[in-house]
Amino acid sequence: MGKLIVVACGAGINTSTMAEDSIKERVAQEGFSDVEVKRILMADIDGFLGRTDLIMVVSMMKIFRTFNVPVFQGMPFLIGSKQEKDELLDKIVEVIKKV
Amino acid sequence: MGFLSTAVGWFLGLGSSLIVMIVLILLGLVFRVGWQKAVRGGITTGVGLAGLFLVVNVIIGALQPAVAEMATRFGLAKTIVDVNWADAGIAWGWPGVAGLIVSILVVNILMLVLRLTKTLWTDVWSYWHGSALAGFVWALTGGNVFLGILAGVLYLVAGSLMSDMTAKKYQEFNDMPGIGVPCGTTVQASLFAMPVVWLLDRIPGLKDWDASPEGIKNRFGLVGEPGVLGFILGAIIGIFAYGTGTGDLGITKILGLGMNVAVMMMILPRMVSIIAEGIVPITMSIVQYMRERFKGREIYVAVDCAVLLGHPAVMASSVILFPLLVLVAAIMPGVQMLPIASLAVVPFWAGAVVPYTKGNVVKTVIVLLLYAIPFMYFSTLTVDAHTEAFKMMGQYGDQIGQGLKLGSWDMGGDILGFFIQKLFGLFG
């Protein structure tokens, strides 16, 4: 079964694209072939929470609720230095490997 | 000289989608994103721009006859067609866009070095607010690209100063250290909120009045869905325009208009998102480069206003505001545009206001009802330059020739933008 990562933002216009790009690039580098990175609106997230292949939520906003999968705040993708970005990507890769 | 003007004429004759494609590929190469990403980005944004104009074409075809019909039936002078984020098409498609991007980057670096601002404006996408205004001024001054760029830079500089004033509050409320949001009408909403909230807090009874955001979301959440909202508004306009028509009493036309407006509400932001997608590699490259240069200084890195939408009070306030704003715009004398597409900007305003109302829904609604009123009037007052900008870019010329007028709240109704347009209008 594939592994689904959703990148959620408020408008689905700009910020989630930046995170999606970075994660996809790293996923390709690591050679994961079963990982899907999907950009969504936070308002639509409930439709994804029930999916059994969901392994992670990356949020571009502050979250005022809890989820049953690991959640990462994706701000370093927008404003982080290369090092901060790589640290976050390392954590994400770790989760992908563990599942 | 002859050759040069022929070449420039040929280039401008390519149309906005091809122009933005070439401009972005060149900028991508200048900012070293790699040629593959540069090409992909340029084509993506060109496609988004073309798609945006297609959608707007659909909505003009559907809405213009309806508002005209309302005008003849009831004498309702609400004939401006609301295209809101179609302004992103002006922003990325007007001839001075490359000049504006480079100018604001240079000005921002200078301001940072001279410590005039703390906002590092690396989010190239959100330049669009300034670039759209620049496009209006370009149209207003009969095609003066230089004045357009000057106006755009002025607007964006003001944006970074406003971001300095609001960044700390945004950071605390949203748990996002290091960000700033210099976006156009969003950050202005915060400035507006400061004194109004201060006042509201001194009115007994109102001070502690609140509503539960979750309760509102559960009950009215459906209205917050752009497609549903669009369908309802389209159908209501349809009833006024075509109700009691011949045959099936106009029901076919009423439902058809509802569907067309729903199409616009859902597809317009998607197209804008495709435009933004192509710009992302350039943004990421600039962020990396600048972060290295300004290490160890307190800096607010500019991000898109979408990061402010997290709090539940944002959507709760918005669904209450949607019908209220349409109603107010409908009864205000002199306001010639019913907001439809423009309602999409309301959640962003709410995101900028909730840090100041501490998530209080009632206060957020009151602040934004007042804030929207100048937008209603300014979008009517700026409509000629706005429409002219579309025409000068080669869009909708035939319909505009027949009297079509295009308006928006974000950026047509923009408060700061209105005064900058007035200022530069003196040179026109």
CB contacts, 8 Å: A43 with chain B: 224-225, 315
Per residue in B400-411, pLDDT (tens digit) is 999 899 999 999
Q: What does the alpha-carbon distance between residue B127 and residue B236 come to, in Å, rounded to a whole number?
A: 35
Least Cα separation, residue A16 to chain B (angstroms): 9
**Partner B contacted by A62 (CB < 8 A):** yes
Nearest CA in chain A to B294: A81
Nearest to B382 by CA among B119, B80, B159: B80
> A61, B291: Cβ pair inside 8 Å?
no
- Among the residue ranges A59-68, B137-146, B216-225, the one predicted with the least confidence is B216-225
B44-93 tens-digit pLDDT = 999 998 999 998 888 898 888 898 888 888 888 889 999 988 999 999 98
Q: Is A6's pLDDT higher than 90?
A: yes
What pLDDT does residue B102 have? Answer: 93
Residue A45 sits in which domain range?
3-98
Nearest residue in B to A79, CA atom: B301
What DSSP letter does each residue of B346-415 carry, written as one string?
HHHHHHHHHHHHTT-HHHHHHHHHHHHHHHHHHHHHTHHHHHHHHHHTTSSHHHHHTT--EE-STTTT-H
**Which residues of B are less than 8 Å from A21 in CB distance?**
280-281, 284
CB-based contacts of B244, cutoff 8 Å, min separation 6 = B250
- Is pLDDT of B1 > 70? no
Residues of chain B with C-beta less than 8 angstroms from the C-beta of A41 = none
pTM: predicted TM-score of the whole model, two decimal places: 0.90
Using pLDDT thresholds of 50, 70 and 90, give the confidence band for residue B25.
very high
* CB distance B180 to B346 below 8 Å: no
Q: State the Cα–Cα distance between residues B327 and B118, nearest whole angstrom.
A: 40
B5 found inside a domain? no
Please report the pLDDT score of residue A12 as a whole number. Answer: 67
Whether chain B has a CB inside 8 Å of the CB on A4: the answer is: no
What pLDDT does B75 receive? 81
Query: What is the tens place of the pLDDT at every residue in B303-325?
Result: 888 888 888 899 889 989 999 99
User: What's the domain range around B17?
Assistant: 12-425
Span B204-218, average pLDDT: 82
- B389 part of a folded domain: yes
**Burial class of residue A41 (count of CB atoms within 10 Å of its CB; 0-12, 13-18, 19+):** middle
What residues of chain B have any CB closer than 8 angstroms to a CB in chain A?
A: 122-123, 125-126, 173-176, 178-179, 224-225, 269-270, 272-273, 276-277, 280-281, 283-284, 287-288, 291-292, 295, 301, 303-304, 306-312, 315, 347-348, 351
Q: Hey, what's the torsion of the CAs at B232, B235, B241, B243, to 10 degrees?
A: -130
Chain B contact for A43 (CB, 8 A cutoff): yes
How many Cβ atoms sit within 10 Å of the Cβ of residue B114?
8
Q: How many domains, chain B?
A: 1
* pLDDT-based confidence at residue B428 (cuts at 50, 70, 90): low
- The CATH number that applies at residue A27 is 3.40.50.2300
Task: For an interface test with A, give the residue of B127, B225, B284, B285 to mutate (most A CBs within 10 A).
Answer: B284
Total tally of structural domains belonging to chain A: 1
Q: Is A15 on the interface with B (CB under 8 A)?
A: yes
Distance of CA B400 to the CA centre of its chain: 21
B6 inside domain? no
Euclidean distance between CA atoms B428 and B426, whole angstroms: 6
Residues of A in contact with B173 (CB under 8 A): 62
For residue B154, is it within any domain? Answer: yes
- Whether B126 shows a pLDDT value over 80: the answer reads yes
Beta carbons of B152 and B104 less than 8 angstroms apart: yes
For residues A96 and A89, give the distance between their C-alpha atoms in angstroms, rounded to a whole number: 10
Neighbours of A90 (CB within 10 A): 10
The residue with greater pLDDT, A66 or B331, is B331
Nearest CA in chain B to A14: B276
Residue B152 lies inside a defined structural domain of this protein = yes
Tell me if A42 and B309 make a contact (CB, 8 A cut-off). yes
Within an 8 Å CB–CB cutoff, is residue A86 touching chain B? no
Question: Residue B243 is which amino acid?
Answer: G
Q: Mean pLDDT for chain B?
A: 90
Torsion sign over Cα B22, B26, B32, B35? positive
pLDDT number for residue B13: 78
Q: Which of B52-56, B201-205, B373-377 has the highest mean pLDDT?
A: B373-377
Q: Where are the beta strands (DSSP E) in B19-174?
A: 81-82, 119-120
Partner-chain contact B176 A75, CB within 8 Å = yes
